């Protein structure tokens, strides 16, 4: 994998620009078409039950994006923290949703708050393979219990890309070059008319073992 860490100083700037310019061009959510209420209808119905079934009482949603669909999720009894790399979006969310906690951080390099359930949805597909490794190792270092992240079963290799908002390639962590075991659980995460994909859910130990951590 290429060492692209020197590019990451600008990562926050590039995603902030995407936020300011609505780069993903969705009329409902500045986080893009995968973050609308329609797109997330099935996930919103199943996610809270899965979190509770795993015995999780706290959740880190990183990145939280504009919180468009998560604001409609039943979070009763779940201590929610949202995190994103775009400072002004995080600041706005903290003001409009004071019952939750929002923090600004870069998943590739900043320490993550510990939570029972960490959701890393719709961001690894924007990141280089080296950055994907940084994010996953960061999750392991946080000591959090479960990782849920976007997962496409039919992808046979994760080709490398340059990190940024206009990059997109689907993610399958069970294939090259990552070769994770199959997820312990999956939740359907797409709407009719879109490509099938899922939230794959792994215990921390499975991610740690893959990196020898
Ligand atoms: C496509 S949106 C998805 C947001 C959210 N997960 C959702 O489901 O609506 C991608 C988000 O990732 C954020 N992001 C990109 N790189 C990041 C990083 N290294 N650390 C934290 N957030 C990042 C962007 O600012 C953007 O809000």
Task: Please write the tens of the pLDDT for every residue from 146-158.
Answer: 999 999 999 999 9
Pocket of ligand 1 (CB under 6 A): 11, 15, 31-32, 35, 63-65, 84-86, 106-108, 121-123, 126
Distance 66 CA to ligand 1 centre (A): 9
Contacts for 129 with CB less than 8 Å, ≥ 6 apart? 1, 2, 158, 160, 161, 177, 178
The three-class DSSP label of residue 91 is helix
The domain spanning residue 205 has which CATH number? 3.40.50.150
The answer, yes or no, to whether residue 5 has pLDDT greater than 60, is: no
Confidence of residue 6 (pLDDT cuts 50, 70, 90): very low
**Does 3 or 109 have the greater pLDDT score?**
109
Q: What is the pTM of this model?
A: 0.95
Q: What is the mean pLDDT of the chain?
A: 94
* Phi-psi map region of 179: left, alpha, beta (phi>0 left; psi -120 to 50 alpha): left
Task: Please write the tens of the pLDDT for every residue from 135-184.
Answer: 999 999 999 999 999 999 999 999 999 999 999 999 999 999 999 999 99
- Rounded CA-CA distance 199/189 in Å is 6
Domain that holds residue 108: 5-210
Distance 85 CA to ligand 1 centre (A): 7
Total count of domains within the chain: 1
**Ligand 1, residues 5, 31, 62, 191: which to mutate, most atoms within 8 A of Cβ?**
31
């Amino acid at each position: 994998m290429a060492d692209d860490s020197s590019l990451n100083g600008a990562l926050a700037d590039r995603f902030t620009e995407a936020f300011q310019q609505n780069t993903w061009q969705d009329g409902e959510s500045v986080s893009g078409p995968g973050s609308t209420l329609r797109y997330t209808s099935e996930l919103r119905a199943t996610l809270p039950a899965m979190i509770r079934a795993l015995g999780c009482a706290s959740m880190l949603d990183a990145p939280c994006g504009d919180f468009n669909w998560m604001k409609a999720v039943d979070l009763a009894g779940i201590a929610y923290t949202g995190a994103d790399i775009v400072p002004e979006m995080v600041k706005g969310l903290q003001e409009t949703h004071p019952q939750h906690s929002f923090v600004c951080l870069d998943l590739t390099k900043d320490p993550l708050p510990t939570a029972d359930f960490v959701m890393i949805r719709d961001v690894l597909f924007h990141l280089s393979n080296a950055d994907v490794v940084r994010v996953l190792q960061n999750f392991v270092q946080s000591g959090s219990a479960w990782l849920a992240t976007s997962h496409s079963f039919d992808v046979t290799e994760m080709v490398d890309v340059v990190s940024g908002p206009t990059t997109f390639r689907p993610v399958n962590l069970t294939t090259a070059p990552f070769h994770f075991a199959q997820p312990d659980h999956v939740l359907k995460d797409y709407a009719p008319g879109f490509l099938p994909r899922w939230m794959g859910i792994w215990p921390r130990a499975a991610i740690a073992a893959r990196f020898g951590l």
